[in-house]
Amino acid sequence: MSAIGDELARAVAELDEPRFLELVDRMLAEPEERKGIFLYIGRGSDEVTRRYRAGQYFIADIMMAGALYSEAVARAVRTGGGQPERGRVVLGVVSRDIHELGKNVIAGLLEYNGYDVVDLGADVSPAEFTEAVRTLEPDTLILSGVLDLSLVQMERTISAIEQAGLRDRVRVLLGGSCVTREQSEEIGADGYIDNLLDCLRLCGKGGV
C-alpha cells in the first residue's frame, strides 16, 4: 500500500485536476512509487464509474476522468519507464456502448507495461473486431462494456470470430460492469478481467 497512491486514487475520484497532476509527478519521480501509479488511478476510475452509475456523476465527469488518465499516460511516457514489448493487445468497447473510461485505463496500463496496444475505440461492431483479429493478429483481444446490452454484443463478437475461423488464434478477455466471471465462461471467453492486476496476469499468459 502507498499513502501517496491512496491520495492519487482520491484525486481521480474527486476529479481534482491540480492535485491529481501534482501527485502524478511525485509518483513518477520515485521509482518504487511509479510502478503502481496506474493501479491507483484505476482504483479512482472505478469510483468515478460507480458514482456515474449511481447518478452522482455525468458523462462530462467521465470525460474529465478520461482526460486526466490520458495526461498521466503522456507524462509517464515522457519521463521514461515501461518495459520491453510483450505482445500485441487489441481492445475496444463493444457495439452500442460508448463508455470508454475503463477501457482507456486498461489500454494505458498495458502500454506502459510493454504491450503493443491497438485501441479500436467505442461502439465497435463484431465485424470490426473480427477484421482486427484477422489483420492485426493480436495475442489478446479485450472486449469491454458497461451497459446491460453489451453482454449480448460480447457474445455476438465471440461468435463472429469463431465463424470466421479465427477463434483459436487469439485469447479473448472480457471486462466491464456488464459481465461477470461466470457469464464470461458461459459465452466462451478465455478470461475475465476483474481488476487491473487480473488484466496484467491474463495478458501475460503464454499461448491462447
Contact between 160 and 154 under an 8 Å Cβ cutoff? The reply is: no
* Distance of alpha carbon 76 from alpha carbon 73, whole angstroms: 5
pLDDT of 103 strictly over 60 = yes
Q: Where are the domains of the chain?
A: 3-78, 88-203
Sheet arrangement for strand 140-144: 116-119, 88-93, 140-144, 171-175, 191-193
Task: Specify the pLDDT at position 153.
Answer: 98
pLDDT of 192 strictly over 60 = yes
Q: What stretches of the chain adopt beta strand conformation (E)? A: 88-93, 116-119, 140-144, 171-175, 191-193
pLDDT of 207 strictly over 60 = no
144-189 pLDDT tens trace: 999 999 999 999 999 999 999 999 999 999 999 999 999 999 999 9
Kindly report the number of other CB atoms within 10 A of residue 93's CB atom.
28
SS3 content of the chain, % helix, strand, coil (to 5): 55, 10, 30
Task: Specify the pLDDT at position 51.
Answer: 93
* Average pLDDT taken over every residue of the chain: 90
Residue 49 grid cell: 464509474
Task: Name residue, grid cell 455525468.
Answer: 58
Average pLDDT over residues 113-122: 92
pLDDT of 204 strictly over 50 = yes
> Yes or no: is domain 3-78 CATH 1.10.1240.10?
yes
Q: Which residues contact 32 (CB under 8 A, 6 or more apart)?
A: none
Q: Which residues contact 158 (CB under 8 A, 6 or more apart)?
A: 143, 167, 172, 187, 188, 189
Contact between 94 and 144 under an 8 Å Cβ cutoff? The reply is: yes
What CATH number does the domain located at 88-203 have?
3.40.50.280
Query: Counting every residue, how long is the chain?
Result: 208
Annotate 96-111 with b (16+ C-beta within 10 A) or e (fewer).
ebebbbbbbbbbbbbb
Task: Specify the pLDDT at position 85.
Answer: 67
